[in-house]
Structures are given as structure tokens and as C-alpha cells.
Structure 1
């Protein structure tokens, strides 16, 4: 009902351009005698005598009239027919008027609006829009101008013509001179929503095409684009566009002021204190989150103490300081803490992202400010959203998958791959990169199967991979084997696998948690698929999997180097803290080592200097591996590890032969 009322209300707004006076500058297109006759007909129409007005207009002979006079006459007849609801006759007269109206541009625009309104009244939206697109709407003024764009917007919206809808909203707001009033308009909210649904290149082309108008709305849309570019960490493009605004919109002070404030703000944020490192951890979070956060901080604190103590007597040594902020276990809070550390403390770089959901939010905020972010966990976003301002200490999805599609790995294990992954953001990140690298390396992905990690029995997923789920496709083979089985009789209490598994892949990658892995791995043996190379992610360096490995056969996983029990790090940590470090402390320690190696590589006056240094260096050294910059993403040099009967060792791929 509400939609119907809105539609009826809009129809009331749709009216012809009306009966307007002869526009200034076109007096020579109309004779005084014709003008008197027209004024008389207008008077009759205004008095409510439509029939009289029509009779007077039709009494005017076309032959002696100038072309524009014929057009005006036909237009007025059309307007009266429109007001009577005779839209077919209105359309006929408006079309006749257009044949001779070209010398009077304003009249022509009015006729197009009138004709479009008539089509709209008949529900002919296609002809309505095509007629509106022929209209030179800049010749319209006041209410006619607004009505034109309201009609154009509604029709374009009905027909799904998004760009035309955006243009119409833009022109509806083009006369507004006050920024506060502009921003409070309902049409402005709708315009911004539609505008930002376009691709970025389309948006920038749109605002630059309309920049000649020098309107407030054009300038403000451009400024919003500046903010958007900056939020996407496209700082150079944002600065260039802001500078362009100050030149193009110099006669619009409110827009120039916004652009100048933006340029001053990013200049302030670009400065840094090279001896200051920001730390964002969920220190006050309840449960395991808070415990892990405090352990990670212990690893970082140990590293910075070691560094400052060992250099305390060096002349000119300036200690590194930690600016620690608490994310409270919230991605939203963590994001805010990142901004505060950069804006208020001018930290040179950041360590954070102990948990993946916080890592994504914190990295995106750091990237916006052009600040290097060292993540203590993996960042599960598309590779295209990552750049050289991110290192993932455990090794990114891209780092792990790259090991599996190196030539030496494929030569040893084969080029036919399968993947079983969890139906989570993490799992989807793995499978997307798996597909990409397989295609790039010329490998074949034979099987892709997703599982629900909430289930405690994953045999169904493995059954699908082994071609045992849909038996109808192998019906003939199944019937033969069942007959043989009946003749032989049951010789064991063990479950008899009637159909043999179809292992049409060389190896399978299973990026699952240890708990899920212990459900999936035994299922291969359950279905008689023995000696299939199964490869996991770094989480398979797990006590639980190690204990069960005696029953699971040989397993593989991708991981970095881990310091041995008697390493300098382990020994010094024991002395300071009276306990041995675990993986979380190691992550914190390594994150600081990476930060120190980066900051120790030169003198940096701005974030831009530090960023350029990283790109040029193309290499970063850590405790558990080195990172190289490839395709604008930092890839950790990782290893294929072998787990057999509780013992873990690094694989030498050249000694491996695929089964």
C-alpha cells in the first residue's frame, strides 16, 4: 500500500512543462500577432475553458506561421490534452511540435519533457526514458528542471539503469549551495549509496566528467572519493585527487577547505618515531584470549629487553620503546587502538593480530595509514587486498600454498592435487589460493571438498573424495564385487569395503585444525585408501597429532623452522622468566625481531621512507624463516615437514619419490 501511495504521489508531480512565456532571446522567433493569439488562448485555459482554448488554437492557420510558432501552438494543444487525460492526443501534438521547434531550444526541452510525461502516464517507461535522454535539460529552469530529473530518476530506477539514476540525483542536488543542507538531503543519501556501488574507475571518471559544472555536489563527491582512496591505502592517489580539488574547485571554499584539511592530516600522520613500536593485543580479554595475549607480550618484552640491555653501553644508543594498547578481544576496538597509536604516538610500525578476526581489522587500519603491520596470526583476506605493508609471522596462506606448487614439490609428489577444507573464512582463503596456484603451475585439481567443522564424523567428506559416496555411477562394478563377496563369505569382523577407493589424485592438502585432522586422516584408512600423501598446515605441528601419528602412517605439513630446545632464545627466556617459552611466546619474540631488523636497516623520516626501504630491500629476516617480496606480498620461506611415529623432520624433496 505504501508503495502505491508513493507512486500516486509521484504521478501528481509529473506534469507537462506547462504554458510558459516566450523565453528571453527568442522574441524574433514569434510575431506580435501570434503572441496576442497565444495569450488569448492561455487566458481561456487559465479560466478553466479548455474547449474554448482548444478552439482558439485550432483556428490559427499553420501556413502563415513561423516554424517555432507552429511548435508552440502544437505544444499548447498537447498540454491541454494532457490535462484532460487524453495522453494519446497529447503525444501526437507533442511529436508534431518537435518537428518545427529546433530554433527555440528552451521550447524544445519543454516539449521533450511534456512528451516524456505523457508516455509515463501511459506506463510506457522505455519511451519515457528515451525521450528524456533526447532532452537538453540544461535549458529547463526551476520546477521544470527538478521535475525532469525526478521523472528521469524514477524511470531509470524502474528500468535498472543505475548510472542514469546517479546522474539524475546529482542534477537534482546541483543547485544546492550549502554543504550542511546538501548532506541532510534524502536524495544525497540515496546518491552516495548508488555512487559507491560503481567501480572505482567509473566513479572517478564520473566526477571528473562533471567537474566543469563546479557544483558543490560534484566537489563533495570528489572529496568523498579522496577519503575512500585513503581508506583503501591508496595514499598517493588520494593526495593527488585532493590536490586536484584545490585547483579545480578554488571558487568553492567549503570544498577546498576539506581538501586542504585532508592534506594536512595525512602529512601529520606520515611522521614517525623510529624508536617506537606499537603493540595491540587482547590483554584484558577473558579466557584463553587474554592468556595468549599476555604470553605473546612476554615474548615481545623479552626481545626488547635483550636488545636494549645488550646495547646499553653503546654510545648514542637510543632504546626501543613499546607502546602497548589493549584491544579487549574486539576487532572494532583493536582497529581504533591502531589508529590511536599512529595518530597520537607516531609509532613506526605495529605488532598485533594475535587472532585472525582482529588481524584483518587491525591490518586494514594500519594499511590505511601506510604503516607496516606484523601479524601474529594469519590474515584471511583475498591476496589482492594484501600488500607490502603486511608480514604474517606464522606464514601466510600464500606462503604455504607456494611450497606445494613449487616445481621440486610437484616433481616429487605429482601434479594431480585434491583439497579438503573447512567451510569457514579460513578454509575459503586456502581453497581460493590453492586454485590460483594450481592453475599457475599447470597442475590439475582433481577434487575439491568442503566439510563442516561442527561435525565430529568426517567420513562422508572423505568418501566423496574417494568416489565411494555415489555408488550408482559405479553400479556394475559394485554388483560384481558384491557377488564375489557373498561367495567368499565374511572372513573378518572388520568392515568389508566392497568398492575399491578411486585415488585419482597424487596428494591431498587438508588445511584443518588438529581436532578436525584427527577426524579426517583415519577416514582414508577406513575406506582402504592407504599410503595417500596427506599434507596439512602448520597447525599439524601439534602434540595431539604427534601422539596419534603412530596409528596414522606418514604425514606431511608445511611449516617454518622452529628453534631447538637449546637455542639462545629458549635459554635466555628460561633465565628471565623461569619457564620455557611455547609457540605464542615464540611468535611475539619473532615479531619483534622482524620489527628490529626492519627499523635497523636505515634512517626513516616518514612512513613513506620506511615503505620505500621495504620495497627496495625485497627481503626480511626472522627467527623461523625469511620473507621475500613477490607480487607485492611477503612470502615466508617455508618447509615441507615429515611426521612419522611421533618424530618431525624437514623433508628433502629431491630424495622423495611420489608413490
Structure 2
């Protein structure tokens, strides 16, 4: 909430200082209300103000004889005086002038609405929330220009929430988001998640009433909220109410094609694929082609898990059956294999997604049919496209960022973070969750730089992060240091750059693959920035990084502490296969064991029944970790690990590690 308010008043004050945000004319033509002589004086005042001559501008306004001015001109003069005083933090004087302006502004609807917004903002600055709210609710936002109307709804949302008026807060945010026509635009707004949370606090009848009131004009926010409400009703067992709401969505939001597609997909899987075989589990892996060696290693972990369950079965126990399909390393073919398993074998669970390039398409196919998908790699999709029917064994993007923004790391490293991320779906998934977590945790983001996938030279993004790319901003410092260095005698070490790096962050998150990290991390030392707190992803647990770690300094990453994994599992694995299990075998073992734990207690006949059982679990435990159901998705408890001098061990982060 604090971050939202800070954003609100920063942007609001900017508009006041520039005078560009003052709406002196409404949507209607009000030019006849103002004389040319008066407008010339007002424009002169604005010019003075923009030049930083606030007092001169205010004095010129005071010199105007109100008795010679028309009513609307008096109002505009008083409003502009209040704006200048507001910017100078003289809020009481600003309130006086805004109140005076309202006594004569009635002919100009747009000016009146702007004055009321300014008055409410002034009361807010003084902490008078009730007065601010009272001033704001009588303003007509339809008389404001689009940008001013958005500020109006931002302020009304904040005030309503602070005053406990949840319904009005929801209504205000829906109005704020009414220009968002697609789900992509909607997901780009950080306030939508807050809106969803507040919306869920209202009772069902109130939620439906708000949705109906906001159905015209059709926009993405009410349409998507209605769809989520229909899903919620269905999973609560209120199928008739859910279907009625879905029908209403189809009729009311026909222009919202993305939401209509979601609705149709949901109805499709409800009606056509309700039955399942609880003893059948589908597995989609690359069993041929370049990636087949990895697929075959997964089979060992699956075999170990299946044997443990079936070997202890009683005579009346029907053993579990695994149905295998070859993805050949392709996402499109993998998705086709998923559909084949669901339609022909009626599998209860699909295990797949060994590589992220396959995982997304396979998961989306399983999602269409409401089938529980256990992915062996991360899935780079927006959080809104994930639900309780997806379990990411290595730990999702959301799980990783939950750990990075945990009190352990923020208290130890500090609350100034930066990110260097790859372009594309992978980087976008990390960046969006990074921003969301930063706002929720009041973390200051000092840099967000991207690099191209398959990049080999990472100096530019690192240079930008360290304040060494735009040297014009530090020209005076650069000139001085250049002169000093020119006078130096010959040096044994070649100087890379003249300026010192500006390290305005406590830690930097680098969601790069190992081969990218091997080239990106040394770029910091190249620019004389050493001893940084660099945090990576689970993929950094590789032999290649271990071999090179002596050259890279201390590196942190989030992942699984596999040293804590069951010793008994490792011993049994060696006995059966004459080799020690590695991470890929452990994860595949966990994937199947988790599915079997969910399925073995009851002979589920329908997907609805099984899905409800999954939702009823708040926690899933396995050898390599624990997942908690948080806001409808599975968040894995991750560990902070330290990679240093050829070893990986659990990191101990203390406040003395904050960068100076």
C-alpha cells in the first residue's frame, strides 16, 4: 500500500509542478468563459512557474483584481494559486484557495472536477482521510481528461481502502483499469493483484453486483474477475451457479476473446473429460533424439518410486501403471502426446516437461482438460496462467522469487535490489515476478537490465547497471579522474575504465543459465566491481560452474539442498542401478512419489473429485522439498545456497554482508 501511495503522489506532484495536469477546460468548449487578456496573464504565470520562479508567479496571481474577473476566471486564478502552494507544501493555504475556487467554478465542469481532486489531495497530505474522501466523492471523474481520471481513481482507491470501504475500493480500481482491453495489458498492471485480493473479501452477492455494474463498456478486468469467480464457484461444488455465470460471461463480454476462450476451455474440460483412471499415470519424455539420455535417466527415478509402492501391494491392490510417450524433444509433439494420454488412457496425472522448451506446451495442453501436470522443469508463464493443477518439481519462478524476497535475504543483504535478465518468455516471467515481489516487500529496484538470449558479451548490461555506460551524467568526475590518471606513471595493471563503478544496489539477481553466468559474472570484475552479492537460479548447480568457481568469487543461488535428501534412497538406488543418483533422478523420483501419495488413498472416479482432493492439501512433502499451496499455486520452500571454491553448501546470510 505504501509503495502505491508513493507512486500516486509522485506522479501527481509532477503534474502539478509542470502545470500540465491542471484541467482548466472541460470536455465541452469553455473558451467563452475566459477572456484573451486573462489567458495571456495565466500563460505568463505558467511560464514563470515552469522556470522555477514560483514566488513571482504567485505574486502576479495575487495582483489580479478579482472584482474585474468573470466567475470562472476567479476560480481558475484561485486553483492555480492553490496548485503552487501545494507544490510548496503550504497545504493549509492551498486548501483555502481550492475552497474559494469552488465558489465560482460552477460553469466549468472540468475545472470544478480538477479543483475537487486537488482539494482532496491536499487534505490527504495533511492526513485528513475523511475530509479527503468527502471532497473526492462529489467530483465528477467523467469531466476529467483520461490521465487525471486515472489519478482520481488511484486516490479514491487508496482512501476507500484506508477507510475500510472495500466495495468502493474495488469499484475504483475497476474504473482505473477500464482502458485495459486484453489480459496482457491487465497483467502488466501491478494493482490487478491487489484488486483480486480485495474482490475476494466481498461476499458473493456483492461481487456479482459489481461485475454487472462494470460490464459496460466491456473491458478485461471485470471479464477476467467474472471468469475467476465462475472457476471458484465450480471448485466449491456450485456447478449450476458456475455454469450460469459462464453463460453470462459469453453473452456480456463477447468482445473479450481471451476470456471467452478461457471460458470455453473450462466448459470443455468440465463436460468432456470428467472421467479418469486413478491407477493410470502418463509420462511424456524425450526418449529418442539428442535429449534421450536425459529422458532415460528420468526413467530410473520413476522406476525406483513405482517399485516402492507396487512391491508392498496386497493381493486385492490394483497396481499403478505408467504409460510412456516419446516427445522426441519437441514441445508441440509433447503436447500432442499429452492429449493422447488423456483421451485414450484417461490418465489421472501427467509427468513431463523435462526441459522448459517442452514444459510450457505440455502443461497448457494438460490444463485444457483439467489434468494434474507435474513438470520436471520450470514453466515460464505468467502467474495468472498457473493453478493448483501444476507442480513444478525444481521450484517455480514464483518459488525462487519468494525465497529471494524473504526476510532472510532482505535482512541480510539489504532492500536495494537489481536484476539482469534474458529477453524472451523466460526473462519476462522472472522480471514480472521480481517487480511484483519488490513492490510487495518495499524493495527499491535500482536497475533492471536485459540481455539477448545466446549472448556472449555481457559488458553492456553490466556497464549500465554500474553507472558506467552513460558517462555524460558523470562528465565532471570523468574529466577530473582522466587528468589524474594521465599524470600517473606506468602501471603494471592495465586500466579498464577511468570512472569507478556506482554500486547503488545491495544484491543483484541474475536468472541466467550456467553458460550465460560463466560469461556474465566476470563482467563485474572487469569493471572493478568485486565482492557483490550475486544470486542465481537452481540451474547454477552444475559441474561446469563448480569447476570455474574459484575464478568467480562467492556466488549465491536458490535451489534444493539435496544433501539433506534421504540417505536410504541413495543407498537403495546404488544397489539397484550400480550408480549414485543425481539431481535429475531425485526429481523424477519425487514427481512420481508425490503423484502416488495423492492417488493411493482413494479410488477417484472423476477429475473433479481428484482435483478437489488436490486443492484440499495445503502442503505436499517430498524428498527434495516441500510445496505449500499459496494463492492457488504451489510454492516450493527453497534454500539459499553458496557456490564457492568448488563446493556448494547452505548459505548463512547475516546483516554484515550488506554492501557498503
- 8 Å Cα contact 1:420/1:508 also seen in 2: yes
Alignment partner of 2:275 out of 271, 280, 287: 271
Aligned residues between the structures? 428
Decide which of 291, 300, 303 is 2:302's aligned counterpart: 300
| Counterpart-to-counterpart distance in 2, 1:275 and 1:656 | 53
Q: Is the 8 A contact 2:496 2:527 kept in 1?
A: no
Q: For 1:229 and 1:491, how far apart are their aligned partners in 2?
A: 69
Q: Distance in 2 between matches of 1:278 and 1:367?
A: 14
Contact 1:233 1:368 in 2 (8 A): no
1:298 to partner: Cα distance = 2.4
What does residue 141 of structure 1 align with?
Answer: none
Partner of 2:413: 413
Q: Which residue of 2 aligns with 1:48?
A: none
> Tell me, what secondary structure is at the counterpart of 1:604?
coil
Work out whether residues 388 and 632 of structure 1, in 8 Å CA contact, stay in contact via their aligned partners in 2.
Answer: yes
Q: Which whole-Å CA distance do the structure 1 matches of 2:559 and 2:568 have between them?
A: 21
Q: 1:500 to 1:291 in 2, by over 3 A?
A: same
Q: For residues 468-521 of structure 1, give each alpha carbon's deviation from its aligned partner in whole angstroms, at most 9, with x where no partner exists.
A: 111111111011111111222232233253211000000000010111111111
Aligned residues of 2:620 and 2:628 also touching (Cα < 8 A): yes
SS of the equivalent of 1:270 reads: coil
Q: CA separation of 1:202/1:496 partners in 2, compared to 1, >3 Å: closer, same or farther?
A: closer
Gaps spanning 5+ residues in structure 2: where?
1-180, 182-217, 252-262
TM-score normalized with structure 1 length: 0.60
Matched, 1:431 2:431: yes
**1:635 CA displacement:** 0.3
Contact 1:233 / 1:369 at 8 angstroms: preserved in 2? no
Corresponding residue number in structure 2 for 1:440 = 440
Contact 1:594/1:621 (<8 A) preserved: yes
| Offset at residue 461 of structure 1 (A) | 1.5
1:618 maps to which residue?
A: 618
1:234–1:339 CA distance, 2 compared to 1 (3 A) = farther
Alpha carbons 1:563, 1:624 under 8 Å: kept: no
Q: Distance in 2 between matches of 1:204 and 1:657?
A: 43
**Alignment deviations for residues 158-206 of structure 1 (CA, whole Å, 9 cap, x no partner):** xxxx9xxxxxxxxxxxxxxxxxxxxxxxxxxxxxxxxxx975966999x
1:636 is aligned to 636
Q: Distance in 1 between matches of 2:621 and 2:651?
A: 22
CA 1:467–1:200 in 2, change beyond 3 Å: closer, same or farther?
closer
Note the C-alpha offset of 1:583. Answer: 2.6
**Equivalence for 1:471:** 471
**How far apart are 1:336 and its partner, in Å?**
2.3
How is 1:217-366 mapped onto 2 (pairs within 5 angstroms)? 240-241=243-244, 266=270, 269-284=273-288, 286-287=289-290, 289-309=291-311, 311-312=312-313, 314=314, 316-366=316-366
Q: Structure 1 residues 514, 204: CA separation in 2 closer, same or farther (over 3 Å shift)?
A: closer
- Unaligned runs of at least 5 residues, structure 1: 1-161, 163-196, 206-224, 249-258
SS of equivalent to 2:616 = helix
Query: Which residue is 2:515 aligned to?
Result: 515
Please state how far the C-alpha of 1:528 moved relative to its aligned partner. 1.0
The residue aligned with 1:67 is none
Compute the displacement of 1:571 (Å): 2.3
- Distance (whole Å) between structure 2 residues aligned to residue 237 and residue 536 of structure 1: 47
C-alpha spacing 1:434/1:234, structure 2 compared with 1 (3 Å): farther
Q: Which residue of 2 aligns with 1:377?
A: 377
Q: 1:594 corresponds to which residue?
A: 594
Do the aligned partners of residues 234 and 462 (structure 1) sit closer, same or farther apart at CA in structure 2, a change above 3 Å counting?
farther
8 Å CA contact retained: 2:566, 2:623: no
Structure 2 partner of 1:394: 394
Q: 1:229 touches 1:237 (CA, 8 Å); kept in 2?
A: no
Deviation of the 1:654 alpha carbon: 5.2
Q: SS state of the match for residue 294, structure 2? A: helix
Name the larger-Rg structure: 1
Please name the residue that 2:549 is paired with.
549
Hey, what does 1:567 align to over in structure 2? 567
SS of residue in 1 equivalent to 2:642 = strand
Asked whether the 8 Å contact 1:279–1:324 carries over to 2, the reply is yes
- TM (norm. structure 2) is 0.60
Look up the match of 2:462: 462
1:592-618: per-residue Cα shift (whole Å, max 9, x none)? 111122223544332112211222211
Name the Cα RMSD after superposition: 3.5
Q: 1:601 and 1:559, CA in 2 relative to 1: closer, same or farther beyond 3 A?
A: farther
Contact 1:417–1:506 (Cα < 8 Å) also in 2: yes
